[in-house]
Structure 1
């Protein structure tokens, strides 16, 4: 006889599949759908480990799920993201008549986030990371160099197609089609060697759906291994923070950095000014 827990898990995975299709049909970006898929995979593991049918998930279990994520070394922002994803799933299940009420009260469960400065790498730390990446397959190494040289989010990097690498008026750019909030932009490639390598690599990959042919979580996995091997506090977002901080230190106007990063609001970009105060002083003398 088939294990009851396995049946419950299969039923939950089926409902999640329907939910993700609904997200896609509603016009959500691939980045959003990938994020929900990652979060809900953790929810499936929790339910399977506790032999818990999704219909029996309640506020007490929701708190246990939050604590389960914390015990798995998830950071507060990631825990809050997972809780939001599960709440959205149950909104869908209520609408479909699979459950009567939504058991996830994110207002009570969400963890408070610290207002921390963006973490960036020193030149020596960046060199150590890039040296480690040289031991990896070419497409992985180039993906990380691309993030350092463009400030792309990891989700934007993995979504690039070969034709998104462009040369316009002697400038090397990447066309970000799936940015945060479905915003498109052209991001400059600020490192000359990376620009040359990207263009050559893209030409070799023409006809392929994706430029690097890797999943988001593959790059996250390599970043984690890099952190363990080098001792550098490195994750994929550090590439973006380092890119922005380096530009500010070079005296690039903050509104130009805002455009390169694809920030909707200038206030979001201004936080980098606090990581490079000497650059702010240098810029101020030109006002």
Structure 2
């Protein structure tokens, strides 16, 4: 069925005045997508966001350059946009911003062990009151707005495994593993004398953002919130955590059903 949709779309492009070169480029990208979809036994209505990520990763594994991969993604996005507009399907599974592949020099890289040590030392010597919240960001990957709302009741122990319980605006919850023993123990000690309904860190999002900028300025390390999240996700992946589960932990939309036991291998045990 997708082959028919492809022909319809290419005819539409031709009738709209696209050049032969453009048509050839679009045809190349759609053929690549077609082959991948058929190989994975996917019908057009079964393709979701995770499927598009898998398609992108297959292009990376083929050795295509970022520019070629992004071109394919843009074509597939336009293709699905057309199908949605014409009423063939509902919704576009392609998210260009999140699926885009960057050149190596533009990629966000995790911190090195030396950089982590320098950041910890700087926080200890210069920003004592913000040391734990910043380290908690590093070792949990949670959003800044989630950090400042944490209460002692959000720090949970399940069979001696420590997690942060994050509640979203829709009242859904997820458990977030902590990756550093020292930070986990300091957090537990900090929460002992705080009432359960009080915030652990009486600070604002702006103060955290300013602190991150200050650390970057003073240490010369590319210290950014985006890199903090990248560092955490890379740690999970390198620990054997499936990418779908990493996305769930980071708070991205997912249909996964996750139990605490699924997360035990990736968090601190106290």
Please, what TM-score do these two structures have when normalized by structure 1?
Answer: 0.48
1:123 aligns with 2:150: no
Could you tell me how far 1:120 is from its partner in structure 2?
Answer: 2.6
Other-structure match for 1:152: 142
Other-structure match for 1:218: 207
Give 3-state SS (helix, strand or coil) of 1:237's partner: helix
CA RMSD of aligned residues (A): 2.5
The answer to whether the 8 A contact 1:153-1:237 is kept is no
Could you tell me how far 1:164 is from its partner in structure 2?
Answer: 0.8
Give 3-state SS (helix, strand or coil) of 1:134's partner: helix
Other-structure match for 1:64: none
Work out the CA distance in 2 between the residues paired with 1:168 and 1:260: 16
The answer to whether the 8 A contact 1:219-1:236 is kept is no
Describe how 1:1-150 pairs up with structure 2 within 5 A: 116=102, 117-150=107-140
Could you tell me how far 1:115 is from its partner in structure 2?
Answer: 5.6
Work out the CA distance in 1 between the residues paired with 2:158 and 2:252: 22
Pick one of 200, 204, 214 that aligns with 2:193: 204
1:174 aligns with 2:133: no
The answer to whether the 8 A contact 2:151-2:196 is kept is no
Q: How many pairs does the alignment contain?
A: 154
Give 3-state SS (helix, strand or coil) of 1:135's partner: helix
How big is each residue's C-alpha offset from its partner over 1:183-215, in whole Å with a ceiling of 9 and x where there is no partner?
A: 421111121111111111111222562111110
* Cα distance change on mapping 1:214 and 1:183 into 2, 3 Å: same
Work out the CA distance in 2 between the residues paired with 1:127 and 1:165: 25
The answer to whether the 8 A contact 1:159-1:178 is kept is no
The unaligned stretches of length 5 or more in structure 1 are 1-111, 267-287
Other-structure match for 1:228: 217
Please, what TM-score do these two structures have when normalized by structure 2?
Answer: 0.51
Work out the CA distance in 1 between the residues paired with 2:137 and 2:222: 16
Other-structure match for 1:162: 152
Other-structure match for 1:240: 229
Work out the CA distance in 2 between the residues paired with 1:237 and 1:128: 18
The unaligned stretches of length 5 or more in structure 2 are 1-96, 256-270
* Cα distance change on mapping 1:251 and 1:221 into 2, 3 Å: same
* Cα distance change on mapping 1:139 and 1:168 into 2, 3 Å: farther
* Cα distance change on mapping 1:246 and 1:172 into 2, 3 Å: same
Describe how 1:173-192 pairs up with structure 2 within 5 A: 173-178=163-168, 183-192=172-181
Work out the CA distance in 1 between the residues paired with 2:193 and 2:125: 21
Regions of 4+ moved over 6 Å: none
The answer to whether the 8 A contact 2:162-2:178 is kept is yes
Work out the CA distance in 1 between the residues paired with 2:196 and 2:249: 27
Work out the CA distance in 2 between the residues paired with 1:225 and 1:148: 16
The answer to whether the 8 A contact 1:139-1:212 is kept is no
